[in-house]
Structures are given as structure tokens and as C-alpha cells.
A and B are shown apart, each in its own frame.
Chain A
Amino acid sequence: MSDFPRWRYFLVAIVLVLGTLYALPNLYPPKPAVQVSASHSAPVDQALQQKIAATLQSAKIPFIDQSLKHDVSRGDYVLIGFANGDLQKSAADALKQALGDEYAEAFNLQSTVPAWLSAIGARPMPLGLDLQGGVRFLMAVDQNDVVDKQEIRYTQDITSLLKDKKISFISVARNATRGQGVNVVLGSAADRSAASDAIATEYTDLSVSDGANTGDRYVLNAVIKPNKLRDLATSAIRQNLATLSNRINALGVSEPVIQVQGEDHISVELAGVQDPAEAKKVIGATATLQYVAGIGDGRDPAVQDAVKTGNIPPDAHLYPGREGDPRGPYLVSKSVIASGDELVDASSGNDSQTGSPMVSVTLNSAGAAKMLDFTRDNVGKPMAVVYVERTTDTKVVDGKEVRTPKTTYTVINYASINGVFSNKFQTTGLGSNKEASELALLLRGGSLAAQMDIVQEGVIGPSMGQDNIDKGLKAVLLGLGLVLLAAAIYYKLFGLVADVALFFNLVILVAVMSMIGVTLTMPGIAGIVLTLGMAIDANVLICERVREELRNGSTPLAAIRAGYEKAWATILDANVTHLIAALALTTMGSGPIKGFGVTLLIGILTSMFTSVTVTHAITALIHGGRKLKTLSV
């Protein structure tokens, strides 16, 4: 047919083939699997694989042999597939006992998509928690806490600044109202202007203004600048996110989803975890830092002796280094110089003189004073940074879970003191920029920048997830089938053509969602069913137009042409307004509505293509180049 150019047939064919290919992986359901990874520096190798196989065989848990694999390209872990969730659970329990603390076992899913499909980048849609089971937390970051911490810190800092500069003052106190900064009361106008200058030059993030004078009380008000406050708020969220990621990684959950939601919320989704209590403990765990005097590292004969004999000097601790640290373990003093809550900031960078990687650390005034006292007497001696983590250990004893709180100490940095310093100092001697940024993250990640509150919590059982998948699939297939049947009955041949297009609409919709990586949820499935029900509208419009043209006396071919042409304007207008509605849905912050909106949005776009272009191509193929007396519509 002349009004359907050849290139468009190619376009339709290419899109249909690609759509089918990229939708295909969703037909391969992933298998339940257990992921074994090293929690410390334990090796992940052939020996581990054999040990796992032996453990499972002796426990008589059947596993899928070819899926026992260690694929370096995907990550440093071993993945074992099982036929069902029960086997997966008992295997994880068995492995936990056999492998001990050295390895972490987590529930995961193993893809069964054929290699040739994975090779072209085709992957299935990730399933949402409501389809997979798991735990979800939504946490609100307490912004007031951020302001509180900063204002308390500035109160201390200004006090010590004025003492340093020998400016006499009556009082330095935080304003009773949060966000109103620090009030400094001085004895004379001259002192006030001197203090004002000193504060303004030292702390550029504060805006300083004169307050009301009463008698000989001269008031100075220092407020944190609004843009700095905003920066602080966003960095607090970012820091909390990093801290959470660290802690959850320690939990051994495979592929946790941790993201910022809205302005000050963080959502955490842990697929496969069924016990929120354990997850909550880790999230709320208190990790902190300690700066202590170093006594010796692993190369020191005294330390080697202590390791061998177990005789540790009474004023010292023996702590291990980080995994893969050749210098560990370390002997450090028991008295703490400064601790994590006195740390204000840590950032990585390069030393301005040597260019070597370093981490610069800022302490608050209390920590600074102690650091100054210590470094004055100990230049050239080593200092260690100890990372203290409190976690809960779960062990299965006689079929019962026994939880024991556990505190682990790790020396994350050990270096010599090069000079006297107080609130700001640098740690150098790091191997690489990567190591520097990791150390900065650990230092910052030790504590939360602001308190967090769990404002939403949900547990979805795995059977509920499977149930949802079954029901969702049934609804999609039945919805599709019924609409296909109705269209074929009502519009005969044109209805069948629309049916083909509608089927491909589903295929392309699934393909696009898989390619973008949209997480499939129950509301998303509802969106798919709605899209299928509404996509037929374009065909109804076209068929009604064609019928109308036929009644007005057009020839069949002219009726098809005019039908498509006239219907197109209407379809476009109707779909643009519908797109506006779908767009608004996607901007809704929260999960379920967003999933629905995204599905609807993609569905409207794909349906415009399949309902108009694909049906036109098929209609043109059927009717083109033939003399027609009637149309089956």
C-alpha cells in the first residue's frame, strides 16, 4: 500500500524482534540461592567450594550442582542454587554452623537466564519487595539534631577562640531557640568589636551581628549562615546514608537498596531478610572511633611475643588490623585520647606539599584540647585509630537462636605523630587515594551525623510474595485474554489485528521496563493491566472511524487511509492528556505510586506505537495491492 512506506515495515519488524528478545529473560524465574562471602580476609576459592559441597552433602540438602560457582566477574562470593526456598533456608543454617564467623551467608536469587541473552544485555525486571518478600524501613533523619550538634560545637569553639585571643567575655551560650545561633556577652564595646572580628575571620560560615546592649552587657550574636545550614543538612543525609550502607554490608544482605527519599528520609529495602529485629539492630548499631597512643605494630618483637604467649601488658590492648593489613596486629594503649563523637569531619585529599594521599580530620574543641595535650609530649611516637563496632552475633544452639552482643575493635590507621596539633590535623602515609577515601568514609561512617527514627517498617513474607506473583500473572493474562476475545468478536479481522498489536504492546512494555530496570511491584502489575485495557482504545477509535468512512460511501482502501489519518489526531490529543496524568504520578515521591506511574507512562508510549503503527503495518500487509469490496471490521 502506497501510504505505508517500506522503511516503516522494517522499523516495526526491528522493534518487535528487539522487544521480544529483551522481554524474554522475564520468562526465566530466578532460583533461590545462598551467597557465601568472606566477612574478613578469609579466602574464597576452590577449597571453600569443596567445603560447601561437603557440608551440604553431609546434611543431605540437595543443591543444583552446576550452580555452585564462584564467578569473580560478579563479585567475590560463591553462589549455590536450590530448588525451593525451604532447602535454601536449611542450607543457610547448615553452612552458618560449618563455616563459622569467617564467612557470611545471605539469601540471594540466582538468574537462570541463558548466557546468550545475558550477553546482549537482556535481563529480567527486578522484583519489588511485595513480590519477593523482605524487610523495608523508612527512616527520617532528624534535622534538628544536625542544627543542635553544630550550634553546640560552635559554642565550644567560640569559647576556646576567645580564650586563645585573650578577649575577656562574660558568657558564651547557645540561644535558647534552636537555629538562633550562639550568644556571646562581653564587657565592653571594644571587646565586642574585637570578638566580632575574630569570630568572623575564623569561622566564615557564621554571620555575626551586634545584639541589644543592657548596661555593661554587650551582646554579640553569631548565627550559622542559611546556605551553610542547607549544606549541613544534605551532608548529614549523605553521611547517614554512607554509615547505613557500611552497617548493612556487614549484615551480609545481597543487593540491599538504600536510597534517599524526599528531603530527609532514607529508605532501606532488604530482600530475602525475614527478621527485621536483626536488621534493626545492625542499622541502629553504634560504631565509634577511638584515638589512642600506639605501642607497637605486628613487626615489633614485643607484639609478636604478646601474640604468641598471650601475655598482654596490663595497660595495653592487642587489636587486629584491617583485613589484608600486613602490619597488624597492634598493641595500643588503654587510655583514649579522643573518641568518635568528638570528630566533626574527615575528608580525603592530597597533601599540598608532597602530593601524597591524606585524610584531614577536624575535632571539636574538647577533643582538640586533649589532642593538643597529648601531641605536645609525644611527637615522633605512634598513634592509632581504633574502629569500635558493637554488633549482635546470632548462633543456632540446639535449634534455638542465641544472640550475644559482641564488640569488635579494629585498628584502621597507625601512624607517627609529626608535630603538635589540636583541632585540625592530617593523617598521611596512606597507600593510595582509594585507601584515603576509604579511611575518611570509615572515620565519618563511625557515627551517624544525625539521629534517625524508623517511621515506617514492613515485613513481607516470602510466601506472600510468591502468592502475589501468581495472582498478578493470572490477572495480567486473563485481562489480556478477555480484551483480546472481546476485540476479535466486535471488530472481526480488524479486531484480530488489534489483538496482535495488543499482545506486542505487553511484550514491548515488559521489554522497556526490563531495559530501564524498573522494579516490578503489585501496583506496577495493576498499571500493566490498566494499560492493556486502555491501549485498545486507539484501535477502537480507528475501527469506529473506518466503519464511519465505509458508511459514508468510501472505498475500503480509502476508508482505511482516512480512518487512520483522522483517528491519529484524536489519539494524539487523548494520549498527551493521559501522559500528563501519568507524569504527575511518577513525581509522587513514594514507592508504590511511583511504580504504577512509571508503568503507565511507558505503557502509554508503547501503546501509541503498537496500536497505530503496528496495526497499520499489518492492515497494509493484509489489504495492500488487492481489490477489495468489503472490509471485515
Chain B
Amino acid sequence: MTVVPVSTELLDDAAGADPAAPPRPPQRSRRRRRRDLAPLWLLSPAGLVLAVVTLAPIGFLLFTAFTDYNQRTLFTGRYSYVGFDQFSELLSDGAFWMSLLRTVLFTAAMVTGSVLIGMGVSHLLTRLGLWWRYTVTVVLIVAWAMPNVASSLVWNWLFQPGYGVVNWGLDRVGVFGDTTDLNWAQDPARAYVAIWLLIVWQAVPFIALTLNAAETQVPAEYKEAARLDGATELAVYRIVTLNHLRPILLLVTILSVIWDYNVFNQIWLISRGGPGDSTSTLGVFTYKTAFVGFHIGQGAAISVVTTLLLFGLTAFYIRRLLRSGEDL
């Protein structure tokens, strides 16, 4: 599971300055200067721990990517420095490029699906009465809360050949012929469909609820004004609402890209990257290289490249998050 901050300030920011927001803390007083050492001892415990558990591993990841660390090394501790060999090997490996292509296309499909449905549900929530709004919200939270290991296993059962309820349902619809024994994990296209449905199912609640929080802050006068000017409901949504939602929509989309690009559990538990390598996106490809083939040096190199490819988006997201924060 990924836990990522989306700060309240973003929502306020998205909807313009909120008049009801508490006043920002005034500029720090001179008094502050005399306590210069306090932040040091407050930060040092967490700082030390974070240095050990995050910075050291990241440094070690970079180091490992320049070695031939493999299964033998795990027992003997011996490895040698190979320079950029892992990287050049990777870049000439067709399997890597295929995996990258898959990841990009599948991420695009997942993000498009979840953001569009999320926008729809967010808007739906604004049109509902109290009771239905509450019901939809609870349904969203329950789907969101499901641990992804559990939901992946539920998915396997829903799509199980022979007795799965999805195959039974498709069979009853009839247009696909006898679908009772349809095997979803053993066919690339079907495996993608099943995984896509799972990811979208689980991503929509976060997107819908986040967008809805911003959508409820769109000033009603703007919408009224547009309606008085004769705009249809669709035009009101497109011109007024969407315009207000744009900043938060952008952030939610970036966050979805980062998450979906890194998806591992759901694919691993549903198709193991198969059949063959056909659903092996970068997460699965890295894992298989490092922990099935135990080419750990190579796995580290893939991980470095994967991270670098996403660096631009991550940097943009962090900058935005910091800027929308307080007086930095």
C-alpha cells in the first residue's frame, strides 16, 4: 500500500482562497532566534532513523546497480564492480523495452479510467440528496478500505474459471457464447481487463472523494450566473466547475500516474505477470529479475531507471505540494 500526502491546503487552493480558513500564523517573532538548537534535537531521532532506513538503502541501491550482485553473492558475499554494464545490458534488452511500453500503456488506461469515473462519481455526489450521498460515500469508503491483497484474492474468485460469478454472468448475457470456463489469467487481453477493473475499482473512491471535496467549494453564484446566461448543465460543468477543479484534478492525475506506474501486488497476485511475460509491467519485471532470477544487480539497475523515468512527475508533484503548503 502506498500512503501519500494530499494536503488540505491543496483543496483550499483548488477552490480559491477560502474566507473561512483560519488566519495563517503570523511571521515568526524574534523570540524564535534564541531557540536555534531546539529543532536540531527534535529532528535528530527521526533524522537518524530515516538516514538509516531510507537514505542508506537508496545509496546502496545505486551502488548495487553498478555491481554483478547475484544469487552467488547472497551466500559468498563476493561481487565485482561492473561499471555501467547492467545499464547497457538493460537498454539492449528487448524484454525491458516491452515491459516499459506495457507499463506506459497500461498506466494510461488505468489513470484515464479511474479519473474519468472518479469525476463522474464526484459530480454525481453533488446532485444527490442526503441519504443517497451518505450511502454512496460509505460504499466508496468500504471499497477504498479493502486491503489490496484481499481484493486481489476476491478478484481471483470473482473471475475464477468454472465457478466464478463473472463468467456465469457473461454466460447469462449470452453474447460471448459459453463463457463458464473462461480463464482470465491465462489470456493477455483478459488478464489486463481483470487487473484494470480491480485497479479502477480501488482508485475511484480516493479520486471521487477528493474531487468532491473541491467540487462542493465551487461558489454557487458562478454556476447561477452561467445558468442565467443560458448555459446548459453540461456547459456549466465544463466552464465553471471544471475550471475550478483543474488544479486538484491535475494533482490527482499525477498521483494516480505515480501509483499505477508502480503497481505490483494486484498484478502479481492475479497473473504473476503472465501468461508468459505479457502482463509483466516494470514493477513485476523488476521483482522477477531481482527475486526470481536473483540477478539483484540487474534488478537494482531497473529500479534506478524506473525511478528516474518518473522523476519529472515526482519533482513537479513535490514542488506543487510544497508551494501550496505554508510560508516556505
Q: Bound pair: A and B?
A: no
- Could you tell me which A residues sit within 8 Å of B by CB distance? none
- Could you tell me which B residues sit within 8 Å of A by CB distance? none
